[in-house]
Amino acid sequence: MMGPFALAAFFFVIEFCQQVHGSRCDLYKGKWVYDASYPLYNSTNCPFILQEFNCQSNGRPDHLYQNYRWQPTSCNLPRFNGRDFLRRFKGKRIMFVGDSLSLNQWLSLTCLLHTAVCRAKYNLQRIGGLSTFSFPAYGVSIMFSRNAFLVDIVNEKYGRVLKLNSIGSGQLWEGADVLIFDTWHWWLHTGRKQPWDYVQDNKITHKDMNRLVAYEKALRTWARWVNFNVDSAKTKVFFQGVSPDHMDSRDWADPTAKTCRGETLPMISMDYPGGPHPAQVVLNKVLRSVSKPVHLLDITALSQLRKDGHPSAYGYGGRRGTDCTHWCLPGVPDTWNELLFAALIQS
């Protein structure tokens, strides 16, 4: 028999599904609203948040960035229910594959679930580039596979080669019940931050090439991998939209600022002055070519409105650096996971 909280969650899900299917609600169109019942967890109660995302621990003096909830225009987004999530995915393996923005979302989900069942035993294991967070009592594993480009980087005699047509690590992804992919952040790095020396397109090796073109070629390789390797009856596939940075205040039409540093409020407008993210335009085009079902977790536009949500001077580097790329936890990635939860309910 359901308890009162489980019963309330059940009827909320039913109402939500009726709203979505009845009105074709777009969960990604809406605005940020202040909600004193947020955040969904406290950073002090989530012992495994990495220092670079733990803005309160790093001395951030303001708190309002934690108190905003995403409100779709035509329906309501279900509040994340960790117990319901764990019941639904009992015995399942959920894997995030991508860069540090994927890590941001993975850590958010582990915090959301740990808070929901704070007395439940959990295991956290890191082996190489694979991190696994599991609840033995539920048989649920939440994994993160570090893979910034999705395609391979191979050490050759003449240097490190980014191979746009090769996915050797795909074997690790097979068998997961839910896959959430992400890539973009590392595609523009140059100099010492660039983790490859050459880029190979089919059999032609270049010293460099247009990064958006390379990004699209890699995504098409990933799309072919999905088409040939994913059994849609067993595995649900998501792609995390491009997570925006806020390094240039001209993008949000504020001549008084320079970067996200010092920003404490989201944009009230539903439209972002900087317009669509160019990488998201490419991603949308590639996703239309995938024959297997892939759900776009379309977080780009709503995250563009959150210039206040980054670590800024309260990340790992402290006041020596400014991080306008990643996100504080609690914060924006919690909403990404509420949207993920809603998409899983729909499917």
Domains of the chain: 53-346 (3.40.50.1110)
- Phi/psi of residue 292, each to 5°? -80, 155
Q: How do strand 93-98 and strand 68-72 relate by DSSP bridges?
A: unpaired
Convert the pLDDT of each residue in 1-34 to its tens digit.
Answer: 445 444 444 444 444 554 554 457 899 999 999 9
| Of 153, 150, 157, 158, residue with least CA distance to 199 | 153
* Alpha-carbon torsion, ordered 110, 115, 116, 120, to 10 deg: 80
The region that residue 308 occupies, defined by phi over 0 for left and psi between -120 and 50 for alpha, beta otherwise, is alpha
Convert the pLDDT of each residue in 68-127 to its tens digit.
Answer: 999 999 999 999 999 999 999 999 999 999 999 999 999 999 999 999 999 999 999 999
Burial of 88 (0-12, 13-18, 19+ CB in 10 A): middle
Catalytic residues: 100, 323, 326
> How many whole angstroms separate alpha carbon 123 and alpha carbon 48?
11
Q: What is the pLDDT of residue 37?
A: 97
Tokens of 298: 């379309």
| Of 76, 80, 79, 84, residue with least CA distance to 6 | 84
Tokens of 310: 């980054």
Q: Tens digit of pLDDT per residue, the chain (347 long)?
A: 445 444 444 444 444 554 554 457 899 999 999 999 999 999 999 999 999 999 999 999 999 999 999 999 999 999 999 999 999 999 999 999 999 999 999 999 999 999 999 999 999 999 999 999 999 999 999 999 999 999 999 999 999 999 999 999 899 999 999 999 999 999 999 999 999 999 999 999 999 999 999 999 999 999 999 999 999 999 999 999 999 999 999 999 999 999 999 999 999 888 899 999 999 999 999 999 999 999 999 999 999 999 999 999 999 765 567 999 999 999 999 999 999 999 998 86
> How many whole angstroms separate alpha carbon 7 and alpha carbon 136?
24
